A = this chain, B = another copy of it.
């Protein structure tokens, strides 16, 4: 055992499994929290215990929250627009919500179709989406701009059928992006979809 006791070593190993942390940064993080035991380690331990108890997956949209249906699904003002944004993952939902807070409803697929990884339509939260669709005026497919994401978007468009307005996010130059660093595909899309100023 290189350092500390068994309990400290176990904590380091578990923290090292979080994305963005490795063995070295997990060790630094544990030392830091031990040094700030009162201000950081005790509150973090309590917060983690509380979160473990409280976390729920929303039965309607698949969002993660402490209530189900989640606070987004049970917000009556969000129904007004009739817009439902379909995302791959909860992190995408949170990202969209930061960009345009409090306006629309969401649906989390829980992944994308990926034959190579053995992910088929039955592995995604699709049936619930189909059943929610008739109540929406527009369904925005906000999958990642990857091959699997776009394949999934095509599949969902087919499943939804012609009666529903289905849109996708615009492709183009990211705000603050430099043309020189952009790939040709994005630039060509941005040129095609140019808008008058």
How many angstroms from the CA of A44 to the CA of B1 in the assembled complex? 19
How many angstroms from the CA of A169 to the CA of B44 in the assembled complex? 37
A47–B6 touching, CB < 8 Å: no
B51–A48 touching, CB < 8 Å: no
Partner of A66, one of B4, B89, B93: B4
Instruction: Given A44-B14, A44-B15, check contact A37 B8 (CB 8 Å).
Output: no
Partner of A7, one of B1, B50, B89, B90: B50
B3–A66 touching, CB < 8 Å: no
Instruction: Given A7-B47, A8-B64, A65-B5, check contact A20 B25 (CB 8 Å).
Output: yes
A41–B34 touching, CB < 8 Å: no
Q: How many copies altogether?
A: 2
* Interface assignment of A148: CB less than 8 Å from any CB of chain B: no
Instruction: Given A3-B93, A45-B48, check contact A21 B31 (CB 8 Å).
Output: no
Partner of A3, one of B10, B37, B50, B97: B97
* Interface assignment of A49: CB less than 8 Å from any CB of chain B: yes
B21–A51 touching, CB < 8 Å: no
Further pairs besides A4-B64, A7-B47, A45-B48: 7, Cβ < 8 Å: A5-B71, A8-B54, A10-B50, A14-B40, A27-B94, A31-B89, A41-B55
